[in-house]
Amino acid sequence: MTVINAKNLILGRLASSVAKRALLGESIELVNCEQAVITGNKKWLIARYRQRRERGTPTQGPFFPRQPERFVKRTIRGMLPYKKELGRAALGRVTCHVGIPPFLEGKQLETIQEAGIERLSTTKIVSVKVICHSMGASQ
């Protein structure tokens, strides 16, 4: 089992790396999901995700998550063939957490260098927590 700290990692790059490792059979625990970041203009990103959330009907979908850990897992799901057995199994090997749960506190936290915000040339970043809060998340 691999424990990855999502703090200050770019969400798309993190998700693609996690999806690839899950397809190869690795079990992954993501911690601090609410501190992952998305690049872009804050107003535009909030409007984009709010529009996506409000699309459709409340009873028939499509359904988009508001909680940060579910938001991140949905992003990972988009990078997997989740309608096939291999993709469903890979998605089941990925677990996302807000903060660091007590049973993972003593574990070695890993990071993904190629997904860090240090490589960005822009300072326009928005955390997953801010986006989820704007969509109505309780945290």
pLDDT at 139: 65
| Bond into 62 cis (ω within 30) | yes
Total structural domains within the chain: 1
pLDDT at 84: 97
Q: What does the radius of gyration of the chain's CA atoms come to, in whole angstroms?
A: 15
Query: What string of DSSP letters covers 80-120?
Result: TTTTSHHHHHHHHTEEE-SS--GGGTTSPPB--GGGBGGG-
Burial per residue of 71-87, b for 16 or more beta-carbon CB atoms within 10 angstroms, e otherwise: bbbbbbbebbebeeeeb
pLDDT at 53: 86
- The pair phi, psi for residue 126, each rounded to 5°, is -130, 135
Range of the domain at 19: 2-135
- Measure the CA–CA gap between 130 and 137, rounded to whole angstroms: 9
pLDDT at 17: 96
- The pair phi, psi for residue 8, each rounded to 5°, is 60, 30
pLDDT at 121: 84
pLDDT at 63: 86
* Coil/strand/helix, residue 135: helix
Per-run averaged pLDDT (10 residues), the chain, 139 residues = 94 96 96 95 93 87 91 96 96 96 93 90 91 85
Indicate which CATH number applies to the domain containing 76. 3.90.1180.10
CA-based nearest residue to 72, from 19, 26, 125, 120? 19
